[in-house]
Amino acid sequence: MDFHKLYEHAQQIQTRLMEEMEQAEVEGDSGGGMVRARMNGKKELLSLTIDPETLRTVEPAMLQDLIVAAVNQCARKVDALLAEKLGGLAGRMNLPGLFGL
């Protein structure tokens, strides 16, 4: 087995995976859509939208909780997307359990 070629191949796969994750976007919401968040695959928050009616009717503490919930939902979706991509990668390489998934 040529470990140098294997290492180069792994680096190419890692680069491609990082590029895919950078381009990925996920959305999360809370309160039945009162708050919506959008995040990229690097877990950078891209946007946060609050329904104007929510601003008029919801107490600040509850609004804060809704924002946290929407952002956390996005983060969980990024984690799930990465796990999905890594799991598929391990299967394609015929190395089950490669990434501990």
DSSP assigned state of 58: S
Residue of 13, 22, 5, 1 whose CA lies nearest to 89: 13
Dihedral (CA of 73, 16, 47, 26) sign: negative
pLDDT at 78: 96
pTM assigned to the model? 0.77
One digit per residue, the tens of pLDDT, for the chain of length 101 reads 678 888 888 888 888 888 889 899 999 999 999 999 999 999 999 999 999 999 999 999 999 999 999 999 999 999 999 999 888 766 555 554 554 44
Which stretches of the chain are assigned E, i.e. beta strand?
Answer: 25-30, 35-40, 45-50
List CB contacts of 77: < 8 A, sequence separation 6 or more: 26, 27, 28, 39
Give the structural domain span for 88.
3-92
Whether 32 is covered by a domain: the verdict is: yes
pLDDT at 1: 66
Q: Domain containing 46 — which CATH number?
A: 3.30.1310.10
pLDDT at 18: 87
The tally of domains found in the chain comes to 1
Whether 100 is covered by a domain: the verdict is: no
Whether 24 is covered by a domain: the verdict is: yes
